[in-house]
């Protein structure tokens, strides 16, 4: 009995070894990404920051909101527990910066997700359906392109309260236009391919074709774009925080920390430089990672 | 060409209508009115104020009144500052933004283009990686960090330039314009690197080389014009970007532009100022995109519009 199992296994191994091993698009891309030193360094740095942001607030003996009146604006030091120093209310800057990274990354990722979901759906439907619906949907995108979006988000945030959730939505809703255009273009070139034809011949319905067959094939370009949207959203959040419209105290974000620090640059430069360095590092790394993914997934460079 | 121009001009009308309507409805849907106040005001007085500004009329009447006024170039009075109109605010603030934005864009081109060209010609060398990596700082560091650092460096420490304020003189323009241009230097350099690289690989450059044209003539005379096309089309959004993006710069350097007036207006529910500035920004974006598309057809013989 055991002999037959071994026999089956052997057969499987032989088959496995003799079959030509094809590499999928994703394996291919991953291999190429691994050879891109800038992207790998960026990815590692980013991973480290994310890990630190998740772990440090858990193990630190300080929290982000309790003032320590005896320790206002102490400079960074290796002894005494406040490695990054404390802010103008005596709160530990390390913990606050890590919380800032958490919140900024979260805003960046959620807002990018919102814009990706809207953009991909809009673009894929327009490209797949085609005809007058396509031109109508793209007209809408053209018109929205001309909407001055910084003022609109400011108005939205000012008028409808300053909660984080609204900020995700507001930023996500205004930044889906590029993704919609790109996805539509890709869909147009995909929709006459044989596999779509086959799906249609097999009786698959329109919505299933769009989401089961088209969208997975657009994933590469969508991932590239999402990676590049996250840093721009993080910067935009920082911009809103600078205008006093961002995350509300005592909760913090990198944008809040940086704009608070900018006011005290002359007397306490570390209050600006440390959070600014984290902000710049995250944005820098995401941009490099996006460029690396772009090269890795772009079939033109093969 | 003329038909294309006309068609584009016609599509600008619905676009502007959508922008105006969106902004108008958004502001009127918002909770709280411009004349809400912490101090109790008798209903009769409040009604009188609202009547004076036609806020007691039904929404559609207010909307068409506003449209009519805009067509006549009248953005209405400011609800917050009794002695000025939105037109007045724009007339005072807009020139500041135009000067800062214009100098910023010029700086972006003067710095970004050479970096991009050199990076494209010396691809994957130190001439490519170092300057391109440096320009990335402009994208990664927010303007309101670059601004104070520039002030600390050039105004406080070196005393070369004034730290802020506005009198229209060049020294006061330089720092804000430089801070504003930082991300655009990066965009221009990246775009130019890409397009120059592509053009230098095209057959007509090979042909020029084969004829023995010297390299700098090839780059400056043959490759430059086609390589600039993406830059020109980027200029449309960039002009709109430097002007709407100057909101932060105005705060950092204490400049009297309309960006600051806009944010104050939004915080004080000064509807007419917010609406007026939004409409102005929208018109600016529409106009810039239009000009960018037109210049496309002039520069690129391959693009022929029907």
Which chain A residues are within 8 Å of B285, Cβ to Cβ? 145-148
Q: How many Cα atoms within 13 Å fall on the side-chain side of residue B86?
A: 25
Which chain B residues are within 8 Å of A239, Cβ to Cβ? 142-144, 248
For residue A123, give the H/E element and its range.
Answer: helix A93-129
Q: What are phi and psi of A185, to 5 degrees?
A: -60, -45
Q: What are phi and psi of B85, to 5 degrees?
A: -110, 165
Long-range contacts of B163-171 (CB under 8 A, 24+ apart): B163/B253, B164/B252, B164/B253, B164/B254, B164/B255, B165/B253, B165/B254, B165/B255, B166/B96, B166/B254, B166/B255, B166/B256, B168/B99
Q: Are A228 and A293 in contact (CB under 8 A)?
A: no
- The C-alpha atoms of residue A31 and residue A12 are separated, in whole angstroms, by 26
pLDDT digits (tens, 9 = 90+) for A76-91: 776 767 777 777 777 7
pLDDT digits (tens, 9 = 90+) for B152-178: 888 888 888 887 777 777 788 888 999
Which chain B residues are within 8 Å of A238, Cβ to Cβ? 142, 144
3-state SS, residue A175 = coil
Q: State the greatest distance between any 2 C-alpha atoms of chain B, in Å, as a whole number.
A: 87
* Residue contact A159–B30, C-beta within 8 A: yes
Sign of the alpha-carbon torsion through A104, A105, A110, A114: positive
Q: Average pLDDT, stretch A191-195?
A: 84
- The CA distance from B267 to the nearest CA of chain A, in Å, is 6
DSSP secondary structure, B163-199, as one string? -S--SS-HHHHHHHHHHHHHHHHHHHHHHHHHHHHHH
Residue A6, pLDDT above cutoff 70: no
Phi-psi bin for A155: left (phi > 0), alpha (psi -120 to 50), beta?
alpha
CB-nearest to B152 from A145, A147, A265 is A265
What percent of chain B shows pLDDT beyond 70? 94
- The C-alpha atoms of residue A235 and residue B48 are separated, in whole angstroms, by 44
* Residue contact A239–B11, C-beta within 8 A: no
* Residue contact B145–A154, C-beta within 8 A: no
| CA proximity to B103, closest of B163, B154, B165, B176 | B176
CB-nearest to B278 from A151, A255, A280 is A151
- Indicate which of A49, A145, A155, A291 best probes the interface with B, i.e. most B CBs within 10 Å of its own CB: A155
- Domain limits of chain A? 23-61+87-301
- The C-alpha atoms of residue A276 and residue A278 are separated, in whole angstroms, by 5
pLDDT at residue number B161: 80
Q: How confident is the model at residue A1 (pLDDT cuts 50, 70, 90)?
A: very low
CB-nearest to B278 from A143, A148, A238 is A148
Helix axes of A37-59 and A25-35: crossing angle, nearest 10 degrees: 90
> Which residues, 6+ apart, have CB-to-CB distance to B291 below 8 Å?
B236
pLDDT at residue number B117: 92
pLDDT digits (tens, 9 = 90+) for B255-302: 888 888 888 888 777 888 888 888 888 888 888 888 877 777 777 666
CB-nearest to A242 from B248, B269, B285 is B248
Residue A36, pLDDT above cutoff 50: yes
Q: Which domains does chain B have, with CATH numbers?
A: 102-257+284-299 (1.10.3720.10)
CA Rg value for chain A: 24
- The C-alpha atoms of residue A147 and residue B146 are separated, in whole angstroms, by 27
Q: Where are the alpha helices (DSSP H) in chain B?
A: 2-29, 43-52, 59-71, 86-121, 126-140, 143-150, 170-200, 203-210, 215-217, 224-244, 246-253, 258-267, 271-299
3-state SS, residue B207 = helix
- The C-alpha atoms of residue A240 and residue A167 are separated, in whole angstroms, by 9
Q: Which tokens go with B188?
A: 């221009």
Q: Average pLDDT, stretch A213-218?
A: 82
Q: What are phi and psi of A120, to 5 degrees?
A: -65, -45
Q: Are B116 and B188 in contact (CB under 8 A)?
A: yes
* Residue contact A159–B26, C-beta within 8 A: yes
Topology annotation, domain A23-61+87-301: MetI-like fold (1.10.3720)
pTM: 0.79
Which has more pLDDT, A88 or B71?
A: B71
> Which residues, 6+ apart, have CB-to-CB distance to A255 below 8 Å?
A100, A104, A234, A237, A238, A239, A240, A241, A242, A246, A247, A279, B142
Q: Are B269 and B78 in contact (CB under 8 A)?
A: no
> Which residues, 6+ apart, have CB-to-CB distance to B155 below 8 Å?
B161, B162, B163, B164, B175
* Residue contact A276–B31, C-beta within 8 A: no
Residue A18, pLDDT above cutoff 70: no
Q: How confident is the model at residue B106 (pLDDT cuts 50, 70, 90)?
A: very high
Number of H helices, E strands in chain A: 13, 0
| CA proximity to A163, closest of A105, A229, A232, A240 | A240
| CA proximity to A89, closest of A52, A56, A63, A59 | A63
């Amino acid at each position: 009995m055991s002999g037959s199992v071994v026999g089956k296994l052997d057969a499987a191994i032989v088959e496995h070894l003799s079959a030509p091993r094809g590499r999928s698009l994703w394996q291919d891309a991953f291999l190429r990404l691994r050879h891109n030193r800038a992207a790998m360094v960026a990815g590692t740095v980013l991973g480290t920051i994310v890990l630190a942001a998740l772990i440090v607030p858990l193990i630190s003996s300080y929290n982000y909101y309790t003032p320590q009146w005896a320790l206002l604006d102490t400079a960074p030091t290796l002894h005494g527990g406040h490695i990054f120093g404390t802010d103008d209310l005596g709160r530990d800057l390390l913990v606050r910066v890590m919380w800032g990274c958490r919140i900024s990354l979260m805003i960046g990722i959620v807002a990018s997700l919102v814009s990706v979901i809207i953009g991909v759906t809009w673009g894929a439907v327009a490209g797949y359906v085609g005809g007058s619906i396509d031109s109508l949907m793209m007209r809408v995108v053209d018109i929205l392109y001309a909407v001055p979006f910084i003022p609109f988000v400011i108005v939205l945030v000012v008028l409808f309260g300053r909660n984080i959730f609204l900020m995700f939505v507001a930023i996500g809703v205004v930044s889906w236009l590029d993704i919609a255009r790109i996805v539509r273009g890709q869909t147009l070139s995909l929709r006459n391919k044989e596999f779509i034809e086959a799906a249609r011949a097999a009786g698959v319905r329109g919505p299933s074709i769009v989401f089961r067959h088209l969208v997975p094939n657009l994933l590469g370009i969508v991932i590239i774009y999402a990676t590049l949207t996250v840093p721009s959203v993080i910067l935009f959040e920082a911009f809103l925080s600078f205008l006093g419209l961002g995350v509300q105290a005592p909760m913090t974000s990198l944008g809040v920390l940086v704009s608070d620090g900018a006011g005290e640059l002359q007397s306490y430069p570390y209050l600006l430089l440390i959070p600014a360095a984290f902000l710049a590092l995250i944005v820098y790394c995401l941009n490099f990672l996006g460029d690396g993914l772009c090269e890795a997934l772009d079939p033109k460079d093969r | 060409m003329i038909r294309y121009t006309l068609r584009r001009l016609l599509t600008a009308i619905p676009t502007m209508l959508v922008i105006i309507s969106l902004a108008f409805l958004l502001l009127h849907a918002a909770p709280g009115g411009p004349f809400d106040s912490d101090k109790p005001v008798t209903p009769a007085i409040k009604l009188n104020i609202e009547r004076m500004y036609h806020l007691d009329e039904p929404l559609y009447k207010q909307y068409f009144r506003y449209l009519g006024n805009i067509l006549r170039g009248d953005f209405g009075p400011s609800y917050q500052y009794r002695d000025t109109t939105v037109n007045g605010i724009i007339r005072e603030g807009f020139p500041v933004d135009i000067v800062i934005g214009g100098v910023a864009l010029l700086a972006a081109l003067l710095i970004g283009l050479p970096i991009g060209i050199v990076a494209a010609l010396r691809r994957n060398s130190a001439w490519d990686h170092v300057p391109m990596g440096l320009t990335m700082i402009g994208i990664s560091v927010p303007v309101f960090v670059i601004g104070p650092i520039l002030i600390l460096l050039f105004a406080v420490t070196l005393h070369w330039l004034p730290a802020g304020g506005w009198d229209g003189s060049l020294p006061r323009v330089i720092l804000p314009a430089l801070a504003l241009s930082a991300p655009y230097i990066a965009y221009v350099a990246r775009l130019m690197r890409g397009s120059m690289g592509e053009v230098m690989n095209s057959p007509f450059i090979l042909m020029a080389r084969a004829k023995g044209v010297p390299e700098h003539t090839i780059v400056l005379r043959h490759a430059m014009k086609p390589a600039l096309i993406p830059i020109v089309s980027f200029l449309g959004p960039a002009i709109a970007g430097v002007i709407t993006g100057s909101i932060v710069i105005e705060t950092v350097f204490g400049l009297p532009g309309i960006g600051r007036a806009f944010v104050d207006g939004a915080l004080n529910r000064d509807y007419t100022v917010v609406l007026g500035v939004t409409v102005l920004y929208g018109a600016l974006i529409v106009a810039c995109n239009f000009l960018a598309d037109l210049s496309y057809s002039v520069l690129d013989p391959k693009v022929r519009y029907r």
